[in-house]
Structure formats: structure tokens, C-alpha cells
Amino acid sequence: MVILAECPTEPAQLLEDLNAEAPYYQYAPGNCGHLLFFTRFESSLLTPLFESHRVSIRRLTLPKCQSILLAAAHLPAKMNFSQESLLVESVHLAQSIDEVETREGHQRTILLGDMNMNPFEAGMVIAGGLHAVMSRRVAARKTRLVQKQHYKFFYNPMWNHFGDHGEAGGTFYFEGAEHLCYYWNLFDQVLLRPDLLDGFAPENVRIPTSIRGFSLLQEDGQPDKDTMSDHLPLTLELKLRGVPV
């Protein structure tokens, strides 16, 4: 599956490019203006359940596998939204996911996309927001009790990708003139509910810096925003459970 955020190219042209060597990919249409979905299986197996301008939550039902929920998001950029406003957006996103999980009757959920927040920012970690923790053991508890209310955990493996873990120190580079500057940021993230962790290993999430020998970085090691994008992509591999007999 390929999910693109804020892509100016028309789906028909993307399909032609994706299928240049073999007709593998299908376009999975939806009503989210910021996201495009392409799959190498029947697009009808990816069903939209909730969509807004920046969020798409879909049911993925593959043969002989338990269905999962795939939530993708492209939250507003920091140049337009304050940290407080992004916190509110994260609360709304968490509520939308929770409502769909309740209707579907399970919590086998992946959330991915450009959150425009680092893993340590309030919207990513507070209980009423995405509640995404760095510890797999903590996430395995599934919920945390705050003021007599239970809040679901997400596990956030992206904490492992800060700094010199790989060729890039994050997915987005910004060198500002303020006193506080992180340089590398991890705005692009993959979060998993604890119910999916049996089929996941830390090395299953990667930040590619090249594709088929074509570098996504400039000579200074920053994302090549002129040729490709100012964000580096993410890849996720996940083993899904079979349907109980």
C-alpha cells in the first residue's frame, strides 16, 4: 500500500507511474482532500469508515486475516497552527479513532501520517490526545486510568529513530534562528495499538533515504525538497493475524 499526503499529482498519473513495470496498484478513492491511497490488492478491501479534510480511517480486510483499522492523517503545519491548536487537533483525532473502534468492536488500529508534532509533544502523549508511548511494555497495559477515566494507549516506535539511528536523524529538517532548534524532527510517524504488536518488530519501521539507488537527500544530508519532498517517507511491515477457525 502507498499513502501520499498533499500530493499535487493526479491519481491517474500516479497509477501510470506506479504501474510502469507491472499493473500491480489500484487507486482506493476517498473523500479526504489531503490523502491518496493506492493498494496492491483489490481496492474494495479498503473501506472508508470516517473521513474529513485531513483524516481518513478505513477498514482493511484481507483474505484469511483479521480486519484492521488503518487511520491516516495530515495535521496542520506548525507555521499555521500553534502547539495548543495542534493539541486540540490530536484530541479530535483520538476521539474519531475511538468512535470507529467502538463501532467496529476491536482495537486493531494503525495510525500513520504527518502529525506535524514530534513524539514528545503534548498532543502525541497526553491521555486525552493520542496517548502514544515509547515503551512497548507500557503500551501492552492497553489503558491508563486518569481521574477515574480509562485512556487507550498507542505504541510509538518512532522514538527509536531520533538522532544517529540511521542516515537521517528524523523525517523533517528545520534549522531556525530561534534559541530552541531541534534540527531533525519526527513529524511523520507510525503508531500501533497494543493488539497489533504481536506481528510487529522495531525494524519493521524504516525511514528510507534512497529508492532504487536514487537518493532522497541533498549533499548536506537534508531531505531533497527541490527534487522530491521536504519530508522523508516511512515504510511499515506488519504481520496480520489469521482469522480464528
Domains held by the chain: number: 2
For the chain, 245 residues long, give each residue's pLDDT as a single digit of tens. Answer: 999 999 999 999 999 999 999 889 999 999 999 999 999 999 999 999 999 999 999 999 999 999 999 999 999 999 999 999 999 999 999 999 999 999 999 999 999 999 999 999 999 999 999 999 999 999 999 999 999 999 999 999 999 999 888 889 999 999 988 899 999 999 999 999 999 999 999 899 999 999 988 999 999 999 999 988 999 999 999 999 888 75
Q: Are strands 132-133 and 154-155 parallel, antiparallel or unpaired?
A: parallel
Q: Are strands 68-74 and 109-114 parallel, antiparallel or unpaired?
A: parallel
The whole-number pLDDT of residue 227 equals 87
CA angle 153, 32, 66 (to 5 degrees): 50
Residues 3 and 80 in one domain: no
Do the domain assignments include residue 47? yes
Residues 33 and 96 in one domain: no
CA distance from start to end of the chain: 27
Q: Which domain covers residue 90, as residue numbers? A: 75-236
For residue 187, what are the CA distances in angstroms to 23, 42, 117, 169? Answer: 32, 30, 5, 12
Residues 184 and 99 in one domain: yes
Do the domain assignments include residue 195? yes
Residues 128 and 28 in one domain: no
The whole-number pLDDT of residue 245 equals 56
The amino acid occupying position 28 is A
Contact 191, 108 (CB under 8 A): no
Residues 227 and 131 in one domain: yes
Residues 97 and 216 in one domain: yes
Contact 58, 47 (CB under 8 A): yes
Residues 48 and 156 in one domain: no
Residues 169 and 224 in one domain: yes
Do the domain assignments include residue 69? no
Do the domain assignments include residue 60? no
pTM, 2 dp: 0.94
Residues 31 and 151 in one domain: no
